[in-house]
Amino acid sequence: MKKRILSLVLVMVFTFTMTAFASDGSDELQKYNVPVHLEKYGSTELSDFDDAFRNTAYVETEAGDTTYTLYFSDMPLDNKTVRVSQVVFNNDEVSIDAVRTASKLGENNEITTNMGGSASMPIISDFVIKRAADKEDKMELLLQLDRVKGNKLESMDDQKVTLVFDWSKAEKIIDRISIFTDVKKDDWFKDAVNYAVEAGMFKGKTATEFAPNENITRGQLVTVLGRIANVNVNEFKGSKFSDVPANAYYAPYINWAEENKLLHSESLDEIAPNGALQRQEMAYILNGFLKLQGMKLKSTRPINFGDEDEIDDYAVEAVHELATAKIVNGSEDGDFNPTDNFTRAQFAQVLYNIYGKKAD
């Protein structure tokens, strides 16, 4: 197999462009979320790499062309951290290497990120494959794998898998700008909200409202992070806190976050899942999550906030690590405002800063 040394990437996005999937015959832009899973090649058993795969494909169709976007993250396998670094489309004896479109390699095979750091910062990498084909229920893919070793990648044997789409459960997405009446074209958070919703991280409060200025709650925030981590909710049933109903949508994600020590609570019995998050607590949870995902944040600037003494001890390290990595910022007057609440739009923007922006 071909040996490769590629850039460090935490979350991979692979995009395939084909023709044609426009179920209503329209040439206008159509958007879909389509359930997908990975099977072992030649078998109906789930592939080992399905655990690293977000089981929804974001699909766009326009004028007969279709773009499939798939998401992979790092995963443990045989005491190794394994990364999918390239995808080869392999249907009908046609083999086409995906083209990397959103990453730039710096010196020493390091990644140049949208935040000015290198090697250790997360970035989404797009891979595009174009070919003429009708809508496909299955795709044969060759996953090119690397073992994460420090800040380098070590080539592993490639794995062939079958990508299976469940078109019967495809959800058509209406343009979020027209659907969400409270997200306007000129809003500073428009791109972030659109990205987070279309990537399956966030959902609207209702079919027509995103509630961008509403405070984000603990339950909402850990649910978003759990979706990014592709948490299997069936492994986190029940409730570990007296104020978390076992049937609440956020219950398995609260359990997952608690098991991984992402939460901060003064009580051993309650977590206040519907309570608003302070900026410092958001930083604490997010920083823990990024470390859980294997990210090593790279300091790009010294930070000293004017209200340092107001940041609670438990959150000081997290605030500084995220701020020096340019993931969160203070106010124009130089304060962090640790006890202010964090809104849904602000958190969508943080996610967009980490995962959604392309390298220039």
CATH of the domain at 144: 2.60.40.1850
Residues 237, 102 share a domain: no
Indicate whether 147 belongs to any domain.
yes
Residues 91, 18 share a domain: yes
Catalogue the long-range contacts made by 150-155 (C-beta closer than 8 Å, 24 or more residues apart). Answer: 151/8, 151/110, 151/119, 151/120, 152/5, 152/109, 153/4, 153/5, 153/6, 153/7, 153/8, 153/83, 153/85, 153/109, 154/5, 155/1, 155/2, 155/3, 155/4, 155/5
Residues 199, 167 share a domain: no
Indicate whether 3 belongs to any domain.
no
CB proximity list for 175: less than 8 A, separation 6 or greater = 31
> Rounded to a whole number, what is the largest CA-CA distance in the chain?
64
139-150 tens-digit pLDDT: 888 888 888 776
One-letter amino acid of 310:
E
Residues 327, 251 share a domain: yes
In this structure, are residues 199 and 234 in contact, taking their beta carbons and an 8 Å threshold? no
Domain boundary among 116, 140, 172: 172
Domain boundary among 156, 172, 188: 172
Number of independent structural domains in the chain: 2
91-107 tens-digit pLDDT: 666 666 655 444 333 33
In the predicted model, is pLDDT for residue 286 greater than 90?
A: yes
Indicate whether 71 belongs to any domain.
yes
Radius of gyration, CA atoms only, the chain: 21
In this structure, are residues 276 and 215 in contact, taking their beta carbons and an 8 Å threshold? yes
Residues 200, 168 share a domain: no
Residues 297, 309 share a domain: yes
Residues 246, 206 share a domain: yes
In the predicted model, is pLDDT for residue 115 greater than 50?
A: no
Domain of residue 145, residue span = 11-172
Residues 143, 199 share a domain: no
In the predicted model, is pLDDT for residue 287 greater than 90?
A: yes
Residues 208, 119 share a domain: no
Cα–Cα dist 22/25, whole Å: 5
Domain boundary among 144, 172, 200: 172
Residues 55, 66 share a domain: yes
Segment 183-194 mean pLDDT: 88
Name the nearest CA neighbour of 75 among 206, 231, 197.
231
Residues 162, 24 share a domain: yes
- pLDDT band for position 170 (cuts 50, 70, 90): confident
Say if pTM beats, i.e. exceeds, 0.95.
Answer: no
Q: What is the model's pLDDT at position 223?
A: 93
Indicate whether 199 belongs to any domain.
yes
The number of CA neighbours under 13 Å toward the Cβ of 28 is: 4
Indicate whether 329 belongs to any domain.
yes
Residues 144, 58 share a domain: yes
Cα–Cα dist 163/18, whole Å: 15
